[in-house]
Amino acid sequence: MAVENTQELLLNMGPQHPSMHGVFRMVVNLEGETVTKIDPKLGYLHRGLEKLAESRTYSQFIPYTDRLDYLASPHNNWAYVQTVEKLMGVEIPERAEYLRVIFGELARIASHQVMIASTALDIAGWTAWSYAFRDRERILDMYEMTAGSRLTVNIMRIGGISAEPPAEFWPALKAFLDDTPEMLEEYYGIFLGNEITQGRLKNIGILSKELAENLSITGPVLRASGVNYDVRKAAPYSIYDRFDFNVPVRTGCDSYDRTLIRMDEIVESIKIIKQAVRDIPEGPIMAKVPKVIKPPVGEVYHRVENPKGELGFYIVSDGTTKPSRVRIRPGTFINIQMLPIVALGWKIQDVVAIFATLDAVLGEVDK
């Protein structure tokens, strides 16, 4: 047999492929089932959010931020409104800060649940997928009670938060927090504790500490590679300096630790929410901000710890009601760089799993 007659199989995965999250596309070279080259193609969901911002007023742009990382929309609202508040120098009421933390951490839990679910689904763990979505439903219900919508919540406002949670919100939140340990045990039992799962994820897709730092990876992916970096601790924003919580760090650098660290983060988020519920003061939920928002001339950058990585907003104001320039620094867009480097040499099944553990949301990647 003439070996030189063989050729690599060029396989186009996506944008319509069952395991591609959203409309991600990658062109893969295969040698048998082993991947020799990955070429990610982005932009299928590009809506030009940064340009859109220039023709919207500051308040009008808040709902657009929902569409960035749509699995954790309160975080995007939060990052944006805080940036504008920083630019204007607005102090927001205590109660609003606490509510923001509660909704932000709920969003983090919901986002991590989706991550666990979709990772399970990408290695065909159907039941784990529906368990995680079943529990996420309760968080969406709490969003709905307060803000009226479930996915793109649009809950933050410049100067505070849009609505006071209704009376039934607090018992629902308490019940959810109490059920969490059991629900994490369930995920572990059906998914992460399973031997086949561990065979699929352990020691797969090693992202070394050096590589992670050089690629400026952020979020849980970075912390699973043994780097202790969390914006909530490194540059505390809002009222995160008041809470007692740990930043989970794992040193496995593999797909398994990238999944497991989400479970750890859910535990920490629960801790934060419990403290916030305990300490929350009475009071107004909106600061006194002018009806027409006109920040002074200047520029500002602000970043928050989104469930998927560091989310930053850079706004240039020319003193009018509309921003002159908005630049978004999305976490997963930068995290996704690791895929063509880390996934080389693995089987195509592993590449699917590695991509799942990145937890990319295409709304954020393509903006």
Partner 1 sequence: METLNNLFLIIAAAIRSLFADPHSVWANLTMDVINFIIVVVIIVLAALILILLERKIAGWTSQRTGPNRLGPRGWFQTIADALKLMGKEDITPAGADKFIFKVAPMIVFSLPMMTLAVIPYGNGMAPINLDLGIFYFLAISAISTVAFLMAGWGSNNKYSLLGGMRAVAQMISYEIPLLFSLLGVVMITQSFNLGTIVEAQKTIPFIILQPLAFVIYIIAGLAEVNRAPFDLVEADQEVVAGPFTEYTGLRWGLFFLGEYGNMTAVSALAATVFLGGWQGPMFLPGWVWFWLKVGIIIFFMMWVRWTFPRIRVDHLMHLAWKVLLPLSILNIFLTGFGIYIYRFVMGG
Q: Which stretch binds partner 1 (CB under 8 A): 143-151, 189-197, 217-225, 269-277?
A: 189-197
Q: What's 296's DSSP letter? A: P
Q: Which stretch binds partner 1 (CB under 8 A): 124-132, 248-256, 262-270, 327-335?
A: 124-132
What's the closest the beta carbon of residue 202 comes to partner 1, in angstroms? 11
Q: DSSP secondary structure string, 238-286?
A: TTGGGS----------SHHHHHHHHHHHHHHHHHHHHHHHHHPPPS-SB
Cβ 53 vs Cβ 44: under 8 Å: no
28 versus 342: smaller Cβ distance to partner 1? 28
Token output for 47 = 């809506």
Binders in 62-121 for partner 1, by CB under 8 A: 120-121
Separate counts of helices (H) and strands (E) for the chain: 15, 8
29 binds partner 1 per the rule CB under 8 A: no
Binders in 233-252 for partner 1, by CB under 8 A: none
Q: Which stretch binds partner 1 (CB under 8 A): 87-95, 127-135, 206-214, 238-246?
A: 127-135
Q: Which stretch binds partner 1 (CB under 8 A): 78-86, 142-150, 186-194, 254-262?
A: 186-194
119 versus 306: smaller Cβ distance to partner 1? 119
From 6, 39, 126, 170, residue interacting with partner 1 (rule: CB under 8 A):
126
Binders in 33-52 for partner 1, by CB under 8 A: 33
202 binds partner 1 per the rule CB under 8 A: no
Burial 35-62 (b: 16+ CB within 10 A, else e): beebebebebbeeebbeebeebebbebb
Q: Give the distance, in angstroms, between the CA of residue 37 and the centroid of all CA atoms in the same chain.
A: 27
Cβ of 312: how many Cβ atoms within 10 Å? 19
From 127, 228, 251, 320, residue interacting with partner 1 (rule: CB under 8 A):
127
Residue 214 Cα distances to 217, 247, 306, 337, angstroms? 8, 21, 20, 11
125 binds partner 1 per the rule CB under 8 A: yes
122 versus 230: smaller Cβ distance to partner 1? 122
Q: Give the distance, in angstroms, between the CA of residue 106 and the centroid of all CA atoms in the same chain.
A: 12
Cα torsion 62, 63, 69, 73: sign: positive
124 binds partner 1 per the rule CB under 8 A: yes
From 59, 149, 337, 349, residue interacting with partner 1 (rule: CB under 8 A):
349
**Which positions touch partner 1 (CB under 8 A)?**
9, 11, 17-19, 30, 33, 120-131, 134, 190-191, 194, 196-197, 199-200, 347-350, 352
